[in-house]
Amino acid sequence: MNLTKRTTREALGFATDRQLADFFGTSKQAVSAWGEDEPLPEGRQWQARALRPDLFPVEQPPTEVA
């Protein structure tokens, strides 16, 4: 799953880019540059998963049954 700014903000219960910037420890200007429905930068997706694995679990590839 590619996390977008919109889905990440909604999952965290945030209403503003400022809140999302604080969550990631970055500037509001950086967050504002991300497209609303475009995937977040890959590093930020991993950071979100590391900070809140309950909301953003790492997807496991399906295992084959022999």
Residue range of the domain that includes 9? 5-51
pTM (2 d.p.): 0.83
Please say if the pLDDT value at position 60 is more than 90. Answer: no
In terms of phi and psi (left: phi > 0; alpha: psi -120 to 50; beta: otherwise), the region of 25 is left
Give the pLDDT score at 1.
Answer: 65
Q: Are 37 and 4 in contact (CB under 8 A)?
A: yes
Query: Within a domain: residue 56?
Result: no
**How do residues 20-58 score in pLDDT, each as one tens digit?**
999 999 999 999 999 999 999 999 999 999 999 999 998
Query: Within a domain: residue 33?
Result: yes
Number of domains in the chain: 1
